[in-house]
C-alpha cells in the first residue's frame, strides 16, 4: 500500500538501546528514573496510565514514585518519540521504533484495550494538507479508530 511503512518492531534490549540513543540525540540524559519508567512502560502490551506506571516503578524501587514525576517523564518520552499518548485512553504506549518520525494511527479495541499501531503516510499527509488549506498548522496528527480487535471480534 502506498504510504504504508513496514517496520521491524524492536523488543527487549534492542528497543531499550534504541530509546536511549534517541533520547541522547534529543539532547536529554538517560537517567536511572527515566530508564525505570521506560522499562515499566515497555513491559506493557496495552496503553498504560501514568498512575499504573508509578505503581509499578514504586514497587520495583521499594519507594513511592509520584505520578506527577511520571507524567513529566512520559511527556519527555512523547516529545522525544519514545512513546505515544493514546488520547482516548489517557494512557501511553512505547514506540517500538523510536528513531522513526511519523504520525500515528491507532486501532483501539474497546473490549480488551489493546492499541494496534499502524502507519499510513498517505492518509496523514492528506490530513496535514487539508489542515493547511484551512490555514491551520498541525503540530501532531494522531488518529484513533475505536472498534474490536480480531481476537475479541471472533470471541463473541
pLDDT tens track for 77-96: 998 889 989 988 889 998 87
Checking 22-25 for CB contacts under 8 A at 24+ apart, the result is 22/80, 22/81, 22/82, 22/98, 22/99, 23/76, 23/77, 23/80, 23/82
Mean pLDDT of 127-139: 91
Burial category of 132 from C-beta neighbours within 10 Å (exposed 0-12, middle 13-18, buried 19 and up): exposed
pLDDT grade, residue 8 (50/70/90)? very low
Task: Classify residue 74 as left (phi > 0), alpha (psi -120 to 50) or beta.
Answer: alpha
pLDDT surpassing 50 at residue 7 = no
Residue 50 has which C-alpha cell? 501514568
Domain extent listing, the chain: 12-94, 104-155
Query: Does residue 5 register a pLDDT over 60?
Result: no
What pLDDT score does 74 carry? 97
The answer on pLDDT for 3 being more than 50 is no
- Local structure of 126: helix, strand or coil: helix
End-to-end distance of the chain based on CA atoms, in angstroms?
A: 30
In terms of average pLDDT, the best of 4-8, 14-18, 19-23, 31-35 is 31-35
User: Would you state the torsion angle of the CA atoms of residues 31, 34, 36, 37, taken in this order, to the nearest 10 degrees?
Assistant: 180
* Average pLDDT, rounded, for the chain: 86
Q: Which residue has the higher pLDDT, 139 or 144?
A: 144
- Bridge partners, residue 84, by sequence: 93
What's 129's DSSP letter? Answer: H
The arrangement of secondary structure in 104-155, i.e. its CATH architecture, is: 2-Layer Sandwich (3.30)
Q: Helices in the chain by DSSP H: which ranges? A: 12-25, 32-42, 50-61, 67-79, 121-133, 150-155
CATH number for the region 12-94 comes to 1.10.10.10
pTM above 0.95, yes or no: no
Amino acid at each position: 500500500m502506498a504510504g504504508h511503512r513496514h517496520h521491524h518492531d524492536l523488543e527487549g534490549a534492542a528497543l531499550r538501546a534504541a530509546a536511549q540513543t534517541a533520547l541522547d540525540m534529543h539532547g536529554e540524559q538517560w537517567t536511572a528514573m527515566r530508564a525505570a519508567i521506560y522499562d515499566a512502560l515497555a513491559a506493557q502490551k496495552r496503553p498504560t496510565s501514568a498512575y499504573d506506571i508509578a505503581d509499578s516503578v514504586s514497587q520495583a524501587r521499594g519507594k513511592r514514585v509520584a505520578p506527577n514525576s511520571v507524567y513529566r517523564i512520559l511527556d519527555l518520552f512523547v516529545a522525544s518519540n519514545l512513546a505515544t499518548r493514546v488520547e482516548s485512553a489517557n494512557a501511553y504506549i512505547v514506540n517500538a521504533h523510536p528513531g522513526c518520525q511519523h504520525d500515528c494511527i491507532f486501532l483501539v479495541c474497546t473490549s480488551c484495550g489493546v492499541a494496534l499501531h499502524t502507519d499510513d503516510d498517505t492518509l496523514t499527509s492528506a490530513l496535514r494538507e487539508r489542515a493547511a488549506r484551512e490555514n491551520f498548522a498541525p503540530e501532531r496528527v494522531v488518529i484513533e479508530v475505536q472498534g474490536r480487535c480480531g481476537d475479541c471480534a471472533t470471541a463473541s
